[in-house]
Structure 1
Amino acid sequence: MSSNVNLYLFDEMSFECESLYLCCRRADVRLTVETCMSSSPIHKKELTVRITDDADPLFLYSVAIGEEDFQSLKSQQGLLVDFSAFPQKFIDLLEQCILEQGKQVPRFLIQLVTSSPALDCMPAYLNVVETNPFKHLTHLSLKLLAGSDSDIKKYLAICIKNLKMENIMLEDKLHRSDKGLSKRLTVTQQALAEKSKELDKLQNEWTSQITSLTNKYSQEITAEKEKVLRVQAQYQLQHEQQKKEMEATFNRKVRHLETRVSEFETINKDLTEKKYKSESSVRELKSKFAGLEEEYQRAKQEVLSLQRENSTLDTECHEKEKLLNHLRTRIAVLKQEVKDKEQVVIRSTDVCESAQEHKKKLEESLEMKQLQIGKFETTVKSISEELLKGNEIIKKLQGEMKKLMEKMKLKNAVTLQQEKILGEKEQTVQKERLELSNVKQALQQKEEEVLKLQEQLDITVQKLEESKQLLKTNENVISWLNKQLNENKIASMHGASGHSDTPCAGSATNSAALQYGLVSICAVLH
């Protein structure tokens, strides 16, 4: 790898890659990365990537990437670098691939995916892939176009031009080296002639010195040999004595070691027995450990399933709480409506009391006019029968009203008890979430009860509306009777001022009948 790789801001920048995965086989190719100015009228920087094979001159794939092409590539493949930093980052990826190429399972790969040779002019894809046990992650994918005839010719022309330049450079180097070597040869030959003369002189001197030294050293060697023989005899005697002593000590040590070996053998037997026992205990513990691990995994799965069920039950509980809050608000609204209706009933009772007071006054007037009642008994009987029917209807309505009021009181008590029970249930739900299944059943039962209570409340509301309508009709009847009484009073006053007795008697009978009807209606309402 040349040092020009890091200078990516210059006009030309090259990068060579030694190995590449090509069509499911591994091959050595040359990958060149260059930045150059485009030949278009607007001069822009372009990044050219070229793949060639030194063994196959017709193998050529290339691509030119401009700033616009890079923007589309960036959006398609999710790149995070700009066009100015892209060449250096691409070269860094290629350097990672070169570092990993010597491994059996490289982490970074360069893949060139090509179509079949039968399909000409089909593009190829240069992929920089990071491998891991989980996934093959493609960092970059470039679409390369196969070289056309003109491109291959241009590439071959450039190759020939480069080869010619290299040939010229090599020829210059050869001429220079020939001149230098010829000069060095002449110098070395002269030096050899001089050195050979010096060698001859030295050899003559050396032979004379060797002869003299051999004579000297031969005498000294004979004397030294005699001394060595004497010393050797002395050393042999000492060696024999030391040998005997060593044999004795060695025999003692051997006996001692034999005794120790016997002791160690007994200890070894004991240790082997302990080892076998420990191995058997280890096996048992391993089997127990495996069983415990299986139980742990099962318990873990059960805990996960229970957590999921707990989460689902929590959501259901929240939904049920929302329903309960909604029902409570509805019950409060119904209670308010019942209170309003009770106030209406109280007002009607006040009206009845005022009617009773009026009735007392009318009774006083009736005592004054009891003498006239006997004449109009026939008409009163007919009216009294109709009024009795009305009284019976009013009595029935009053009985139904009393029953409805009692039912409403009972329902209010029941709803209060249910609210208390629901509060207790909510506390138990918060304290004992482990018993959610039982709480579910209780909630379902409570929901059914609440639905029943809602139905009962709807029925009571309908009955209250019916009773309201009946009260309105009764009020209308009372107002009509009051009008009739007032008319009869006016008529009686006119009769007392100078009219004949017969019409006065008729008005008196009508007033008496109306007063009797009022008395009976007020008594029923009371």
Structure 2
Amino acid sequence: MEQLFSKALSVSVRCRDSEERKSTIRVTIDLQLSPSAVHKRNLHVRLTDDKDPYFLFTLSISEEDFQSLKAQQGLLIDFGSFPQKFIELLELCHSEQEAESPRFLLQLCSQGPTPEGPSSLSVVETNAFKHLNHLSLRLSPGSDREVKDYLASCLARLKEEREALELRLKRTEEDLSRQLSCTQQTLCEKSKELEKLRSEWTSQTSSLSSRYSDELQSEREKALELQRRLQEQADQLRQELESAHRSSSQQLRSRVGELEVSCRELTERKYKNESAIRDLRMKLVAAEEEGQRSKQQVLSLRRDNSLLDSQVHEKERALSQLQMRAAVLEQEIKDKELLMSRTKDVLEATQQQKVSLEENAVGKDAQIKKLEATVKSLSEELLKANNIIQKLQTEVKSLVGKIKVKNTVTVSQEKVLQETTEKLQSAEKELHSSRQQLGTKEQQMCALKEQLESTVQKLNESREVLKTNENVISWLNKQLNERQMTRATAPEPAAAAAAATSGAKSPLYPLGRATLPPVGGALSSPADLRPTTQLDVAALDSKYFERVDSIPIYGLTSHLPKEIPRPAKASLPSAYFSA
């Protein structure tokens, strides 16, 4: 902390609902160097009263705060020269505070009835026209902690001053005691010398008084003789001067008579000259009246002349304008004739072009319809891209506004700008790549749709095959049940036991084998059915027993079996279904 200024100045204090008063306030300006990179220097302004220790107003101005202060109050200096200029203004106030009408004043204005709330310190220059406010600083009252710190610093300073004064007092006491002892010694010596001198002086004065008394008597006698001589000389001089005065007075009287005669002659001449001057004045008045009349006539003639000249000039101007207009109109007529001939040629050429363009327009309408379809699809993508670009542009605009406001941080904002441009470029690249990905995804979607259609067809075919298989199985079960019923009506001992055991195990899928009729034939009688140990399935077509590997279908895997039968192959006609 470096102290730049500290003086007690006369300040006029203004509060609300109270009269203006003057008080002596100490203004202290300190410059603090901070280690941070953003705020390198801070200026501290402090107002205190030596009589009132609780009176404290403070203000801290950083470089950023000074920029806003400079913009608000129109200052023309930088932060580096601001403290010196502020101190110069305070010095001017200090130099003129004892004058009756000071030119520079310090004013402390508060909005409250007492100067306890936020106040403004102003440096005002007064002149005959108005009050000029050079600088106004907004000061805040010290908090309890600041007042305590200030009082503690004052107390520490007073203690230091008291200790320094005690040291000085001790030193002065020691010096004075030394000087006292020295002076006492010298006093004793000097008193002895004084006694010696007094004895010598008394002896010398007695000898000198006896010697100079004789000399005084002789000198008094000489002085009396000189007085007599001087008196005689003065009498002679007085007689000579009286005679000279008489002669000069006679000469002056004769001169006065001559001057009176000349004075009378001059008065007569004066009267004659005054009468001649009166006559000349009368003539001059008459001549002045004639001159004024002639001047008025000259002025009226000049006015008439100027009016006539202006009329002549106006007419000449009108004539020249009419001539110019006639020449311009003739030129315009010639130009229009040339334009007419050119427009005719252009009309013929345009008619020919119109015919050819109408032919081209028919072909291009078809192309435009195709292009409009593509443009619609592209416009949707472009709208998305434009939204992204607009967002980035708004970010760039906000960054540019911040750059204009914060001139001190231009380097960092340039980096941000570069980053935003890089982001823009990367966004454009991403847009391009997303468009390409969109195209590939659309192709994949088309391929997947084709696969879906094919799988749905296969599914429908497999369902039809399943239905036919179920029909066949139900028919076979029916035939087997009928056979069992017939065998139950005419049982053989061994066959009955086998049928009873087989029927007890499974009524739908018996273990006995029934011989199916040959291809193209039909069941004629129950005797055609032969009991066997296995089901004879040779008569069924092989398409009902073929299976293929499964094809996965999106969204249907949970409802379909793992294996879907292939579509039926071309084979011989079945005996159970019409071809």
TM-score normalised by the chain length of structure 1: 0.47
Higher RCO, Cα 8 Å, sep 6+: 1
